[in-house]
Structure 1
Amino acid sequence: MIGLSFITSSVTVLFRDMVQIVNIALQFGIWGTPIMWAPSMFKGMDSYVWILKLNPMYYIVDGYRSSFINHTGFWEKPGDTLYFWVFTAIVFVIGLKLFKKLKPHFADVL
């Protein structure tokens, strides 16, 4: 979340319409996360489930669902855990570098 905050806050200063893009991305995010649907709904489409798993929130929501309903721990899916933390680290590094690069321009634009 800090990485995404760095990215959106630094870009919003220079590009005012970023607020609308974030709102659209949040709508896609809520429907792309298994909060509104269960992964078991896609039994016949196993070849497309990997697209849904690209969303890092899938790991968190599915982990909670698996823990409470199926009584399985998140450590039982090491591939998903590795993907989540690598994705999180990459977004954080990109956000931090972008924020530091654009920081000198904030005073001029504001």
Structure 2
Amino acid sequence: NLAFWVFLLVVCFLYGFYPNLWWLQLLYYMICIIAISLSLGLLFSAIMPFWPDIGQIITVIFQVLFWATPVMWNKDMLLTHPKYQYIIKLNPFAYIVNGFRDTLIEHIPFWHYYNQMIYFWLFVIMTYWLGNRSFNKLRPHFADVL
């Protein structure tokens, strides 16, 4: 993660974006990354010992989500296609990526897109709840399969 931050700072400096007060929002988006990683990690770690092939399915899903997240392309490219914008907004990782872009380049506060923020946190809470419930329910069986 430190390498990412150094790379991010170097690229921002090269393109003329210098640190300002808006950059404090990056802490919020880092918390978002930690929260979604924790919730998905808990869910998948509970399921993986029982269905080891699901790891390959998860890899494919994350590959699709990566290309459906505006990392290498700008979300404004879909302005003429509202139904695709809706699909992209369902991707919780798009909220984080757009948040980084909005913070560093556009200077838009994280609460500006409150509906996406609510959706993201509901997704994280539901995933965490499902992962926690699955983990606790399957915990007695871990010794049998591992």
**TM-score, scaled relative to structure 1:** 0.92
1:109 aligns with 2:145: yes
1:21 alignment counterpart: 57
Contact 2:70/2:94 (8 A) holds in 1: yes
- Structure 1: which 5+ runs fail to align? none
Identity %: 38
Letter in 2 for 1:109: V
Match of 1:46 among 82, 90, 94: 82
The alpha carbon displacement at 1:47 in A equals: 2.8
Contact 2:42/2:131 (8 A) holds in 1: yes
- Please state which structure has a larger fraction of its residues in helix: 1
Deviation per CA, 1:60-100: give whole Å up to 9, x if none.
Answer: 11111112221111111211111111111111000000011
Contact 1:14/1:109 (8 A) holds in 2: yes
Deviation per CA, 1:18-61: give whole Å up to 9, x if none.
Answer: 22112112211211111121111112102321111001111111
- Structure 2: which 5+ runs fail to align? 1-36
Give the length in aligned residue pairs.
110
Letter in 2 for 1:28: V
Letter in 2 for 1:16: P
**TM-score, scaled relative to structure 2:** 0.71
2:104 alignment counterpart: 68
